[in-house]
Structures are given as C-alpha cells and as structure tokens.
Structure 1
C-alpha cells in the first residue's frame, strides 16, 4: 500500500536502431511523489486518461483485449455516435484503453491507423501466446535485444491491424498499457502543439532508421501512459488525417485549455460544458482536435492522493513522543491553525503519506477515544515494533503472528488515544512506513462510491474481516492507501464528525471541491489562496464527506510551476 508505482520511461530507449523493420515503444516515468514543497503558481496540467481506438467488431475486440491481453472491462458507455467499452490494464497501471464501436453509419477505415499501442509485460512470451490464441497476429516474436541489455521486445497486430508492441518489464506484476502512438503528418508542428499548447513534456526524440521518427511525451501528472507522436520515414503511404482514434485528456482547467487551443488556431467544436449524454452523468466535457483531426476529448481532471491523515489527540506533546518512540516517525514541522496546533510526522522510511497530530485549542469537547478507523504501518521487524509500542506507553492487543491465508505477519495495538494501530511485516521496509489510513464510515457502499466514483480513488480490494469489519482499500495517485471501514461485530461505533481529517492533494483543488459537492458532500470553504502565514500562495479549501469527516483540499506538488 505504499506509493502507487508509476510508469517507466527507461525502456523507451530500446527502440533506437532496434531491428530492421521493427517498431519502437514508449512509457512513462517512475518515482515516489515528492513531499509538498514551497508554493508556486498553478499549472494547467493535462494527462491522457484514456486512449480510444475504433473497432469493426466490438465483441471480438473486447475478447482479444481482455482474454488475449490481460485487460479488464471497467465500464460500458452509450455515447452520441458510438458505444465505448472502457478497459483497464491487468496491473491497473497507466491510462485506460477505450474500444469504440461507431453507430452513426459513417464509413470509417479501421485498418490504416499509423500509430501503435505499447504494452509492458512480465512474461512477453506468455503475453504473445495469449494474444495469438484470441486471434491476434504476432509479426515479430518477442526476443531479447543484446544491444539493449537483453530487453525483450516483440510486435503484433490486433483484429483491426493496430500495431501492438510488447516490451518485457520485470517490474510488471502481469502487464500494463504503457504508451499510445498516434501518426502525425508534421512531426515538429505536432510536437509544438502537444507540448506548448496542451502542456505535455518532451521526454525523448527517437529516430528508428528506415522506419519512423517519434517524440515521446509524458505528463507532469504521474501515473498515466505516454503519448507518442509518430511520422513514418520508410516511404510507405500513411493516412494521418481523421483516423478513428481519440485522446481522452483530463485537464485541471478545461476552459482555459480550450481557449489556448483556439488561440493557437486549433478547432474546438464544443466548449467545456456539462454533458447531456446519460451515461456521463453531467460530466464536464469538451471536444477539440489536433491539426490532423485526431479527436481530443477534454474532461475535468482532479487526480488526487492522500497527502496526510490527521488525528485529534488529547495531549499533543505526549502523542508526539509516542509516534516518535513507539512508531518510529519523525517530526517534520509544526503549524498553528485557527482552532488547533498541528505537528506533522513522517515515517522512518520517508514513504507514504504524513500523519498530522492535532491538538485542538478552541475549547470544544471532543471524543478522541472512539475513532472507528485505524493507522497501518509496514515494518521490517514486527516483534521489535510491538516492543517499541509497549515501551512508549501504548498497548499491543494482538501480538504479531503469521497469517497463513495472507502469508504475512500482522499485529494490532492502540496508541495513547486508543487509535487502532495495525502493523504488518514487510521485507520491502527498511524500518517502517505509514501505509494506510482507515476511516470509519456509516454506509460502506455509499462511501466507496463517493471516494471512487466522485473523487477518483481506485478500488484496490474489498476485504471482509469476519465478525469484525468490512473494508474497501482505495489508492490515490501516490501517498498511503485510504481504507473505508464499517464494523459488523455489533459494537456501537461513532462514524460522524470524528476529530480526524484527510489532507487531499489534487491537480485541481477547485475541481476537487466541486467533485465533493457533486458527490453529496459539503464544501465549507472554496479552494482559494490561503491567508495562513505558513502557506503563502498555497491554495486551500475545506469540505466534508457524507459522514462529516473533514477534507482539507490542497494542490499537489506536481501541480505547481517552477
């Protein structure tokens, strides 16, 4: 449950002068999110949330992309002129793929798309075998490339002749969609449009002699697949105009981007507005196109993560001492707010979200001992961790023990304010890190819909703990996981207005606040420049979820310009 892994750009270099007649690849970048940094002006961030391709036989293509390429169907939408099937990679990494079945009767050529789809696979040979078994065609079997560290690369064609590139990736659990290539008639002009107007970043220029030139573009927003601009140089005739493909772009400020596209001479046939299409539930949608007529579907983007979890404590200094000595955390900073003092704590391994200990100063009586959630730590040595908890004045309620069904060692304890502490043995930990924050909710399914459907968190796992609680484990774009918990053991639990808060960092704080309101939550303070002395130029807003849990809305560090 540590920071969500992002796509790698390392293997992009594999394609350079690869094999005569072979085609290249793309990807994204991989790193842990940096901690929040100094304030900077807002950036109108854009990333590719989905790549859409037109198909001639929707059912057959769905079967190939799921059974043959390991993807899973996560949605099916009826649009004005098409049916869309939304697919997610087996590893739930990167952008989604949308298969589009057009229903408007207009003839389209699906066989001449001059782009490609790049998949990274743990076992390229197995991926190729599955692909072939479901009707795909392998044109170059996956094979190690000695000149590039023996990275395995192969190529194939799907049912509509789309080029599929397969790249071996040891970091993959199974496979994931790493890059989407689109053909462009003027490579330099396309590069300028996608970088200077749309806000992508040029990561690499590659020249595959006798085949094509390409620019690999990534987004400052982590977690999405790369966009690859391709222009063929092998003398073959390519159709670059009005291909049945689309780039679904999530944008921090869609209206501003639409204006920039117009100012750059681009076409924006539909300005950002709430969609009337039933399946889109009023989502903000705009349509534009690049110089070659590739459809750009602009959506409101709010990509976010849990930056910090805040818990109220009765004795601030005692709590700081316990989290330092008992849980291995270090103090980062102290902050004074209108009704509280805050101490920000960071894990020993400097991974995951921060923990904020809140000592309230407004005189309002609060119950700190009935928080129905939990804090989860991943630790190198569970037995020593249990001793540290005891020595610091906490309680160990369930000594660490191997859980046969899970294959991990798990223990439970309580901090000085009776907060449930779960600690899990992990070979990945150097010392320990804060991996997840459990939030008690009165209606588990409704809370899941609010945080997933409205706030954009990804559902990782539904986990029932017999005779204790049921929980959904959710992941944002980085940070620690968010766990929604509803107790089923018959004990009374207070799920409303607990002294806890979620610090959410988003690419668009304003859009995130709107999403809270649209999901049935409450916006207390709109996202706006803060007046706090220690938050110069920071954008801060406050809201509440449907149980009254405080949500502090902040800008993500990668959403700030240098």
Structure 2
C-alpha cells in the first residue's frame, strides 16, 4: 500500500470538522456475531491466495458514467461485456496500477437505488488539483477541494461525488505518473464481523484499523498478491441512517483455488449462489465463474486467478564454466546456486543490484545436439556506467557490436554486444542503477501478434508498449507482477531467424501453478507436465510443471512465493 495511505489516515482525523459538512449522513453498526473462520488448511496444502481484480459499481446512466470516469478521472475503457443481467464497462486507471473499475448498467428491469452506496473509491493523483478540476469539468461534484495539510507532511486530500453519488477520495501521491485507483470501500453493518469474514475466510490481510470520530470506523485490507487495490470495510458512526444491504456493487475476486474458497464461504455460514464452473455467458468465453455474497449481500464474483511474473530466464550455453565466468566478470552478475536437472546442469545468476529476475545458465547433459548460436532473443541490462560496462564485456571475452551512445529520441544511452554463445546483450544507461541489473528478457517469436495474445490474454502479463525498430525487429514489452520484463521479438530485416525450439526457458511463477497450466491448455498450447510436487532433491516441497508456447519455448511453471502473513 502506498505510504500516502498511512499519511492520509492521520490527515482524516484532522479534517473531521471539514468532513462533517461534506460527506453526508451515516449509520451505526449492529451486534451480529462474526462469521466462523474455516479450519486451517493441511500443512502441505498451499495457501488459497485471493486479490480484488476489479471493483464494480452500479450506474444509472452508463454513457455519462463512462465519460466522467474517463475524461474526469483519467481512466481508459478496456472492453464492454454483455452479462446475464447487465452490461459492464471495464476501466483501467491512467497509470495501469491497482485493480480495475467496472461500471455496471443493469438490464433486468429490477429497480435499484444507485444513490445510497455507503462506500467510496480512492484515487491517488500526481496533481490532485488538476484531478479535481478535470473531475468537476466532466460532471462530478467536488465537496472538499484538495488541500495540503502541513501538519502531516503536506499530503493533499480532497473529496467529491460522482454522478451516482459515490464518494470519491482524491489523495496526492508523488509516485503516480498521472493517477491510479488505490482502494475500494464498501459499507458493512458490522465492521468486526466483516473483517473476520474478509480476513479469515476470503484470505485478505488486515493492514490497519481506523476510527474517524464522528464519521466512520474502517478496516483497510490488502492481499498477499501484489498489484491490486486495497479493500476498505466502512461502518458509519455519525448517527444517520445508511443502507448496507444489497447495494449494487461487487468485488471481482481472483482466487488461486476457487472451489476451496466457496467451500470456506459455506463452512463459515456464508451464501454461495453459484459454485465455480465454466460460464455459459458468451462474452466470458467459458471462463471459470462463481458467485457468493458477504453478510450484507455484497456480490463476490469469483474467478480463477493466475497472476504471476517472470522469476528467471534460462539460456542454453555450450561451456558452462566459461559462461559463468563471463556473466560474472563481464555483466556483473553473482552466482547464487547450482542445481542438477534430468537433462541439464543449471547455474543461477543474480544481477549486481539484486533486482529483476534471475538468469539461469543451462548446460544440457542428454546428448541431444543443440545450436546455441542462433537464439533470436536478447538479454537487457540497465547499468550505471555504460562505457565501463562495454569495457567489462570485452575484457571478459564478449563482443561489443554497437558501442554505447546517447539516443536523443529515447533520452538514454544504449549499447549492444554478444556473449560467448552469441546471445544479444543490450545495455542501457540508468540513473537508478547502483551497478547493473537484469531488466528484460527477449524471446524470438514467429507470429508477434499471436504471441502477444497468448502471453497477455491467456497468461496475464501486462502489455507495456509496442515498439517497431525500423529495419531490425518489432517487439512487445510485457510485465508480470514483479521480476524483469518479457520482450516478444520478431525480426524484420530479412535475415533468416530460427524461432523454433531454441534452448531457452521462462521460469514463470504464479499464484496458481495449476490454474496457469490450465490457461495454457485452454489456449491450445502444450502442457508437457502438469504441476505437481517436485521430485528433485534440491526443491523439496515445491510445485513444478512444464509447458511450451507455440514456438516451443519452454515454460517452467512454479509457485509464486506470496504468502499470507
């Protein structure tokens, strides 16, 4: 959670008098018993990780709401879905950080009150005043203009209401590029019972409990899985009536093991209206879908979660010891460990700055002939001193093919070289590098768009940028939830490239190895070994699986290290 959340909570206590005139009425909590927590999982059963992938709010005028959230709040429309009783517009924040927001236009003819939602949406903005100005110009209503608070580090906070009276909280955040959706608040009738359900049953973590005198009590919850917005449970204490029941909102939850989650909800006495199963809705294309609700009737839409990242990038090498020496002396990496596999020996290398994914040097021992000189990918390093880095590459036995030079169009210094096995090494000057770090791994692909769709739409990587490099290659730069970037490259300069079955691998770590293996299979690619307990002596207790993409690049499927505290 951004540091601004903690500062903001202190600030709210100082703004009570101001808020009393702007946030409207509230209501007290009830004395219902807390939900019964499920029994802890067996010691050998992985944690059932959950995160909020999207927050849904009902709207009375879909087009007007889309205009406000895009033009007034900087969000981007990603897609529109026709659901069984509603139309949904999925929005992503300007910075592509945090969970998505879903605007829901109900089509079932049932009357709903969209003006009484007792929750809130929290946005973090680089320029809160400009955010408020854009919000107002697009039809929103500012109730508390953003203002710096000197007593808490000059954090800027403001409040407004959208077209359906949803509370919008605006917080200044220096790390924002433009703005992002940081938290979703839902009203609850019993804040402690709701906390127990969301933490003990659904698997969120309690980050902080706040009491805002004369306004509301709230629990701020986060997920062990990074990258999503916080969930805030709110109970108003200012004496006025609030409706906490069956509000037209939803939490879309991505879950490592959806069936286990619905069992936990049932065991706690909660309501499950649909067990997870392939959806019959055309726009969901058979995606796993389940429904449950909390004690106040807030809809919980349960999906299969596979969020992951590139944990390591593997390249085959002809001479293992020579390669280790080059990557250490020439590229500044450190040897972490050595391990034996069924058909290869591996040395794991880590960058000098200990940032990004690991690099795995693989020496095959199965007697199968491989061409290590034709890999159409690349390894990208970000370095403090590009000129010295080039000298180190040469001194260690590598080649510098393009000396580092400042690229005015990019605003950075870039150079290129080749390692002992002819792998392309790109090194980029970076002010934030202490020495150097492994920033991206490129793999050659025969069909760039199809590869992009597989890694983004099916495996959940996020597209950062598409770059056509004239007379060289076109590439998509993708990012997982951590680790180095994954670059998909297709060469365009006419020379023949081999894209098939190159001796490289991607170690992909996911919140659900089984879920990502199923996603690969559903995409029509090959799962050669379903994730299961590892048999290698050096990784007891790990889950390992294997698959291949359309070009035969090996994908080693592993569990991400995220765990509930």
Question: For the superposition of Structure 1 and Structure 2, which TM-score range results when normalised by the shorter chain?
Answer: over 0.9
- Count of matched residue pairs: 544
Match of 1:277 in 2: 281
Q: In structure 2, the residue corresponding to 1:17 is in which secondary structure?
A: helix
Alignment of 1:235-384 (within 5 A): 235-384=239-388
Q: In structure 1, the residue corresponding to 2:14 is in which secondary structure?
A: coil
Residue from 219, 226, 239 that aligns with 1:222: 226
CA distance in 2, matches of 1:159, 1:545: 46
1:6 to partner: Cα distance: 7.6
* Mapped contact 2:207–2:222 kept (Cα < 8 A): yes
CA distance in 1, matches of 2:283, 2:475: 28
* Mapped contact 2:96–2:180 kept (Cα < 8 A): yes
* Mapped contact 2:256–2:304 kept (Cα < 8 A): yes
* Mapped contact 1:214–1:231 kept (Cα < 8 A): yes
Higher deviation after alignment, 145-154 or 369-378: 145-154
1:22 to partner: Cα distance: 2.6
Residue from 528, 532, 539 that aligns with 2:536: 532
Q: In structure 2, the residue corresponding to 1:22 is in which secondary structure?
A: helix
1:511 to partner: Cα distance: 0.3
Match of 1:42 in 2: 46
Q: In structure 1, the residue corresponding to 2:546 is in which secondary structure?
A: strand
Match of 2:65 in 1: 61
CA distance in 1, matches of 2:543, 2:504: 21
* Mapped contact 1:16–1:206 kept (Cα < 8 A): no
- Structure 1 residue runs of 4 or more that deviate by more than 2 Å after TM superposition: 5-16, 21-25
Residue from 170, 176, 196 that aligns with 1:172: 176
Residue from 162, 166, 182 that aligns with 1:162: 166
Alignment of 1:39-118 (within 5 A): 41-118=45-122
CA distance in 2, matches of 1:317, 1:130: 59
Match of 2:28 in 1: none
Residue from 472, 476, 489 that aligns with 2:476: 472
Q: 1:428 to 1:15 in 2, by over 3 A?
A: same
Structure 2 gaps, min length 5: 24-42
Match of 1:232 in 2: 236
Please give the root-mean-square deviation of Cα atoms over the aligned residues, in Å: 1.5
* Mapped contact 2:8–2:157 kept (Cα < 8 A): no
Q: In structure 2, the residue corresponding to 1:479 is in which secondary structure?
A: coil
Match of 2:131 in 1: 127
* Mapped contact 1:7–1:224 kept (Cα < 8 A): no
Q: In structure 2, the residue corresponding to 1:478 is in which secondary structure?
A: coil
What's the CA shift string for 1:261-303, capped at 9, x where partnerless? 0111111110000001111110000000000000000000000
* Mapped contact 1:7–1:93 kept (Cα < 8 A): no
What's the CA shift string for 1:467-489, capped at 9, x where partnerless? 11000000000000000000111
Structure 1 gaps, min length 5: 26-38
* Mapped contact 2:330–2:394 kept (Cα < 8 A): yes
Match of 2:496 in 1: 492
1:521 to partner: Cα distance: 1.3
Q: In structure 2, the residue corresponding to 1:552 is in which secondary structure?
A: strand
What's the CA shift string for 1:112-131, capped at 9, x where partnerless? 00000000000000100000
1:10 to partner: Cα distance: 3.7
CA distance in 2, matches of 1:6, 1:416: 43
CA distance in 1, matches of 2:454, 2:85: 29
* Mapped contact 2:4–2:155 kept (Cα < 8 A): no
Q: 1:17 and 2:4 equivalent? A: no
CA distance in 1, matches of 2:5, 2:518: 33
What's the CA shift string for 1:287-331, capped at 9, x where partnerless? 000000000000000000000000000000000000000000000
CA distance in 1, matches of 2:432, 2:180: 22
Residue from 447, 453, 468 that aligns with 1:449: 453
1:149 to partner: Cα distance: 1.3
Alignment of 1:368-447 (within 5 A): 368-447=372-451
CA distance in 1, matches of 2:547, 2:171: 43
* Mapped contact 1:7–1:178 kept (Cα < 8 A): no
1:18 to partner: Cα distance: 3.0
What's the CA shift string for 1:39-88, capped at 9, x where partnerless? 97510000000000000111111111111101101111010010000000
TM-score (norm 1): 0.95
* Mapped contact 2:247–2:298 kept (Cα < 8 A): yes
CA distance in 1, matches of 2:2, 2:322: 38
